[in-house]
């Protein structure tokens, strides 16, 4: 069976337009394109009449208006939030204020671990620290409406509080930023952790959904094959980091340009954090050693 990871970059939808995707699902894409958000955040509306909105997105008035326009004449009972990145959760407050819906889903922001002494979280600006759910959802918790039910699947890794949501009526999973068809998920400590991410991929391999609707870009088709390829891709990246250490590289600064050739400079911090996420996992597994706790500026070598 093929382990090749191929990406679907053919996704063009006008921001703000509401598109029906299936009997139960509609999608509105926010106008926040970028190197990490692809064509923008996908917000999903589930059900008819009494509906839920999944990941209302960034706090952009035009996007909030587009969502409210799409559900005009309907009742929004729940706003589900997958994780507290600023491109996913902040608009929940505006939707709640306009509709009275409950904010449910992931917990308030939390990191996978404390920052090491002397570290700053270079991506701190990406976290929505104001997210306060009316109700947290843990593994298996569900909310429902007429003809639909959304169940939480805990999938830490991209972020410590990350949830996917299963819609059993259509055998689909809203995979948010855990599994996307256009790119590999970003895993950056301290909010994310590679060991969690790999365990969360394994967890999805035991499930029966036949299609994923991600937080950015088009659907993940044949998700079992895709998830397997994603895990394989991560193991290959781990192998190339081990190879660089074997070749004498000692720092993240030295490793990044060797394994990300032709990297978009806008993604250099993300790449450094991603290598750090792998090193942290390798140290925990005893394959790599460093002085003290792993840090972004530390020196690493093979154990
Ligand atoms: Zn995210």
Domain 18-231 bears CATH identifier 3.60.15.10: yes
CA 236 / ligand 1 centre spacing (Å): 23
CA 284 / ligand 1 centre spacing (Å): 24
CA 141 / ligand 1 centre spacing (Å): 21
Model confidence at 232, pLDDT cuts 50, 70, 90, reads very high
User: Under a CB-based contact definition with an 8 Å cutoff, are residues 237 and 259 in contact?
Assistant: yes
pLDDT at 270: 86
CA 215 / ligand 1 centre spacing (Å): 8
User: Under a CB-based contact definition with an 8 Å cutoff, are residues 52 and 140 in contact?
Assistant: no
Beta carbons within 10 angstroms of residue 28's beta carbon: 25
Model confidence at 114, pLDDT cuts 50, 70, 90, reads confident
Average pLDDT for 149-153: 98
CA 84 / ligand 1 centre spacing (Å): 7
pLDDT at 170: 98
User: Under a CB-based contact definition with an 8 Å cutoff, are residues 157 and 198 in contact?
Assistant: yes
Q: Does position 185 have pLDDT exceeding 80, yes or no? A: yes
% pLDDT > 90, the chain: 79
Average pLDDT for 124-132: 86
pLDDT at 123: 56
CA 158 / ligand 1 centre spacing (Å): 7
CA 289 / ligand 1 centre spacing (Å): 29
List pLDDT tens digits, range 168-180: 999 999 999 999 9
> Max alpha carbon distance in the chain (Å)?
64
Q: Does position 121 have pLDDT exceeding 60, yes or no? A: no
With a CB cutoff of 8 Å and minimum separation 6, the contacts of 257 are 263
Q: Does position 113 have pLDDT exceeding 90, yes or no? A: no
List pLDDT tens digits, range 32-90: 998 888 999 999 999 999 999 999 999 999 999 999 999 999 999 999 999 999 999 99
- Cα separation, 182 vs 41, whole angstroms: 13
Lateral strand order in the sheet of 102-105? 18-20, 25-29, 42-46, 50-54, 75-81, 102-105, 135-136
Average pLDDT of the chain? 93
Cut 0.75: pTM above it: yes
């Amino acid at each position: 069976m093929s382990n090749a990871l191929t990406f679907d970059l053919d996704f063009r939808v006008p921001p703000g337009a509401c598109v029906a995707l299936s009997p139960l699902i509609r999608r509105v894409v926010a106008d926040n394109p970028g190197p990490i958000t692809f064509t923008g955040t996908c917000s999903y509306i589930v059900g008819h009449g009494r509906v839920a909105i999944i990941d209302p997105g960034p706090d952009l008035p035009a996007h909030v208006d587009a969502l409210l326009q799409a559900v005009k004449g309907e009742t929004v009972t729940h706003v589900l939030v997958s994780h507290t990145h600023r491109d996913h959760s902040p608009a929940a407050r505006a939707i709640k204020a306009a509709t009275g819906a409950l904010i449910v889903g992931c917990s308030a922001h939390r990191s996978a671990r404390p920052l090491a002494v002397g570290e700053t979280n270079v991506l701190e600006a990406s976290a929505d620290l104001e997210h306060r759910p009316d109700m947290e959802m843990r593994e298996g918790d569900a909310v429902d409406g007429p003809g639909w039910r959304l169940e939480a699947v805990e999938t830490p890794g991209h972020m410590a509080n990350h949830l996917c949501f299963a819609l059993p009526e259509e055998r689909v999973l809203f995979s948010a930023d855990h599994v996307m068809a256009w790119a590999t998920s970003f895993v950056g400590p301290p909010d994310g952790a590679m060991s969690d991410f790999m365990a969360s991929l394994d967890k999805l391999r035991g499930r029966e959904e036949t299609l994923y609707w991600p937080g950015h870009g088009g659907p993940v088709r044949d998700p079992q094959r895709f998830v397997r390829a994603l895990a394989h891709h991560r193991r290959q990246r781990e192998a190339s980091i081990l190879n660089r250490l074997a070749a004498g590289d000692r720092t993240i600064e030295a490793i990044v340009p060797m394994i990300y050739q032709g990297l978009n400079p806008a993604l250099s911090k993300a790449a450094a954090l991603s290598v750090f996420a792998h090193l942290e996992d390798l140290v925990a597994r005893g394959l790599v050693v460093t002085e003290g706790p792993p840090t972004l500026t530390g020196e690493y070598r093979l154990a």
